[in-house]
Structure 1
Amino acid sequence: MMPKNVTNKLRIKPLVTFGATAAFGLTLAQASHAQSSVTLYGIVDVGIEHINNTTAGGGQTREVSGNLSGSRWGMKGIEDLGGGYSAIFTLESGFNVNDGTTAQSTRGLGTTPTTTTRLFGRQAYVGFAGKGQQLTFGRQNSVLYDQAVPFDPMGASSRYSTLSVDYATAGRIDNSAKYVGAFGPVTAEAMYSTRYDTGYGAEVPGAEITGRYFGGSLTYGTGPFAASASYEQRNSNTVATNTGTERRATAAATYVLGDVKGFAGYRYLRASRAFLPGSPIIVANGADTGYANLYWLGAQYRVTPALQLTAVGYYQDVHASNTDPWMAVLSAEYSLSKRTDVYATAAYTRNKNGSALGVNGYGTVAPGYNQTGVVVGMRQKF
């Protein structure tokens, strides 16, 4: 999730010397101060987690980074170009608080796998914005991620959210062009990538569909009601299997009634066996093409200005299979200040017939076993 309150700003102001008076230089510096800026921001989130029935057997207690929010630091810049338009950029780096390592590094799974070490693994883009429109280029949040954050009660958190059931709900796309436009209560989004994960290498000459991504969404919001629909498609990242695809479509809505906000959502997934990395839906289904429906229903209750409770259930219906796991989550957040809060989150997954959905995702629990996870932590935004 993106930080809600960014308050500390590092201003970049061109130094102006014109051989005139100091007052004249000060006037120009003040003008540049109003026209361009760079904002330094971040989130530090760490907690203690306990889970049972791990893949290695037994329970595990550990310190973990990035629970309600992925730990990060970043910079955002804006420069006024005149006429209501601005040049913008964002550089955002994820890190692990518990050991100080960089997050979002990946290793490709193709025939010639490569390792990608990402300094700004969360986001790195530049573009233009103005008059309700924005066009950006670089590594950016996917269309599905943009929809999951406001329409998942857990905000697509690093743990115990839709991300546990579907990795793509927090997807980031390399080599992408992204357009976002606001038209009254409707926001439209479109995105295209020439290769969405450079962990597999660069674009392949003569095989342009390899690693291709495209997607779009429409979101409507007015008063207490908001709704969204999205679609995205990824082609496999290897040349030999590049006709294999993962296709997702979502529909979700929220409604605010007093201190309660309700959430409901649906995601359709169709994944071919040729797609890499291998989808757990295909493994569970055993068919050439895997189909699955994901449903979620939940609510947030603002008990006091400082205390918020969240409850949500996720159910994955895998077609042509009786391996249909579900997960229930309960979370409490208490704000100590505008920038610091403490939290406690508990989750439970129910597996049957060999399904292996853990509270932190597929493959993180012994197949066929249920799992309980609890994390207590602290988060600070700056």
Structure 2
Amino acid sequence: MKKMRALSAAVLGCFSSFCMAQSAAGGSSVTMYGIVDIGINHVTGASGGSMTSFTSGNMQGSRLGFKGNEDLGGGYRAVFTLESRLEADTGALSNRPISQGRLPDRLSNAGSLGLPAALQPAVSAVATQIGNSVGVNLGNNFFDRQIFTGLITPFGAFTFGRQYTPGYLANANFDAMKTESSLSLGQLVAIPASFDIRVSNSLQYGLQLDGFTATAMYAAGEVAGRSSAGRLWGAMAMYKGNGYSFGGGYNNRNNELGEKSLTTAVLGATVDVGPGTLSGQFSTIKDDHPTNLSGIAAVLSANPATAPVASLVQNAFIQGFRQDARLFQIGYRITSGVHTVVVAYNNMNDKRPFNADRSSYGVAYTYALSKRTDLNAVLTHLNNKNTSQEMLGGNGFLGGVAASPGKNVNSLALSIRHRF
């Protein structure tokens, strides 16, 4: 029988911030670690023209974390992770998009939502409320990135807390950019979000058997009187062979009413070709019952001026925020000494009536000053089509919304990243 090696969720997602495999020998330890990533980001296509700013998280989100493990004997280990995001340019815990609280025109214009122009004031009020919730960790939760504990056993790892979802782990593994920078696939699906990256109140089981790695997750929504509300479950499986890998992941989340909401499925593969690695992935995104929109009518009903149209406006926003899309990426990564170059092409095919198709392509270059410190340059072009209005951000921040539908966007990011 082949030897089974159980790993924590952090090990299964070694493309996240750290890997605990180094502590697999005996003993106990607590380690502080982190990333400081800061640079200059120049984008075109923003409202008011081009914009240049200092940004944190161009390649990876800056963070501070603590990880630990304790050998319990008999093949059992206790592990924990506490990881906080931080903004290296300001010291804050959260950030807003370049476009602040603005939504795409297709989601904030009465006509685009199929409503009479006379209802624009009600639509604008709702769009402002939704837009104010767009950003990264706006609640300023200290351990927003990860916080979990668990047991590694001879028959698998069990971890509990706030963790990366299986679907996102699969996406990150097969992304040529490993979710880094404006060139990653996830930059095409930021508003509305098409991936549940992390989830709270989760239980995850993981194992690794030679080249096979798998996780399964259940996360409780914890809504009183409605056990299915906000619930998420997912699974991921990957196999890594000699010079190749393949696998997939799946997430399904319910909305606040317990209805099936965002569902994401990912299939991907890599193969060594020449001096580098060719990677590709395909994802489907479906959401017929968008989350956190069921209260719009109640808010509008509190105002006598908008009460008569409350249900009409709510239904229009629900229709507008539904998702049905296909994502595709192909990329090539080559590392030679201190140099790493990645080229990638990303495509999002919107199946909804909005037909908000978009694509991006570009090149990323990393020069390693040492094992811990590197310099990075990323140039990305985003082609917005029809009603698409995406902006380019980075791994640690959202780009937001371009100046107008169909407006193309260019991004040039120069940064320094230090890991400790």
Tell me the TM-score normalised to structure 2 length. 0.74
Work out the CA distance in 1 between the residues paired with 2:327 and 2:31.
37
Asked if structure 1 preserves the Cα contact closer than 8 Å seen for 2:168 and 2:249, the reply is no
Aligned to 1:333: 366
Gaps of 5+ in 1: 10-32, 196-202
Conserved 8 A contact 1:230-1:250:
yes
Compared CA separation, residues 66 and 289, structure 1 to 2 (3 A):
closer
Q: Which residue of 1 aligns with 2:197?
A: 171
Distance 1:206 1:125, change over 3 A: same
Distance 1:284 1:49, change over 3 A: farther
Matches within 5 A, 1:32-111: 35-54=27-46, 56-103=47-94
CA distance in 2 between partners of 1:132 and 1:104 (Å): 41
| Alignment partners' CA distance in 1, 2:269 and 2:157 | 24
Native 8 Å contact 1:145 1:169 kept in 2:
yes
In the other structure, the counterpart of 2:5 is: none
Matched residues in 2 for 1:75 and 1:319: separation? 43
Contact 1:285 1:320 in 2 (8 A): no
Aligned 8 A contact 1:163 1:170 in 2:
no
1:261-315 CA deviation, whole Å, 9 max, x = no partner?
111100001111443479xxx999967953110000000012x210010011110
Q: Is the 8 Å Cα contact of residues 141 and 171 (structure 1) preserved in structure 2?
A: yes
Aligned counterparts of 1:184 and 1:153: Cα–Cα separation in 2: 23
C-alpha change, 1:331 and 1:150, in structure 2 (3 Å) is same
173, 178, 183: which one aligns with 1:160: 183
Distance in 2 of aligned mates of 1:160 and 1:285: 30
Aligned to 1:14: none
Greater relative CO (CA pairs within 8 A, separation 6+): 2
Q: Secondary structure of 2:374's partner?
A: strand
Matches of 1:40 and 1:53 in 2, distance apart?
A: 40
Q: Describe the shift of the 1:250–1:311 C-alpha distance in structure 2 as closer, same or farther (beyond 3 A).
A: same
- Mapped pair 1:299 → 2:332: yes
Which of 195, 219, 230 is the matching residue for 2:249? 230
> 2:409 maps to what in 1?
371
CA contact (8 A) 2:325 2:352 kept: no
Return the offset for 1:142: 1.1
Partner AA of 1:189 in structure 2: T
SS in 1 for 2:91: coil
Contact 1:104 1:121 in 2 (8 A): no
- Once superposed, what is the RMSD of the aligned Cα atoms? 3.0
| Residue number in structure 1 paired with 2:16 | 2
For the 8 Å contact 1:230–1:251, the answer to whether it is kept is: yes
> Which of 188, 197, 219 in structure 1 is aligned with 2:238?
219
Q: How does 1:337-348 map to 2 (within 5 A)?
A: 337-348=370-381
The answer for unaligned runs of 5 or more in structure 2 is 1-14, 102-128, 295-314
1:214-255 superposed Cα distances (whole Å, 9 cap, x missing partner): 00011111111101111111111x34xx31411111100011
Contact 1:247 1:271 in 2 (8 A): yes
Distance verdict in 2 for CA 1:307–1:5, change over 3 Å: farther
TM-score of the pair, normalised by structure 1: 0.81
Question: How has the CA–CA distance of structure 1 residues 351 and 285 changed in structure 2, closer, same or farther, with 3 Å as cutoff?
Answer: farther
Report SS of the residue matched to 2:357.
coil
Partners of 1:132 and 1:42 lie apart in 2 by: 30
Whichever residue aligns with residue 35 of structure 1, its letter is G
CA contact (8 A) 1:178 1:192 kept: yes
Q: 1:71 to 1:60 in 2, by over 3 A?
A: same
Aligned partners of 2:392 and 2:400 also within 8 Å: no
- Distance in 1, Cα, partners of 2:293 & 2:67: 32
Which residue, out of 323, 340, 345, partners 2:356?
323
Q: Counterparts of 1:277 and 1:357 in 2: how far apart (Å)?
A: 21
Within 1, Cα distance between the matches of 2:284 and 2:292?
18
**Counterparts of 2:276 and 2:26 in 1: how far apart (Å)?**
39
Counterpart-to-counterpart distance in 1, 2:331 and 2:184? 11
Whether 1:245 and 2:261 are equivalent positions in the alignment is yes
Q: Which residue of 1 aligns with 2:341?
A: 309
Inter-partner Cα distance in structure 2 for 1:164 and 1:34? 41
Over the matched positions of the two proteins, sequence identity in percent amounts to: 29
Classify the secondary structure of the residue corresponding to 1:92: strand
Indicate yes or no: 2:181 matched with 1:181: no
Whichever residue aligns with residue 248 of structure 1, its letter is: T
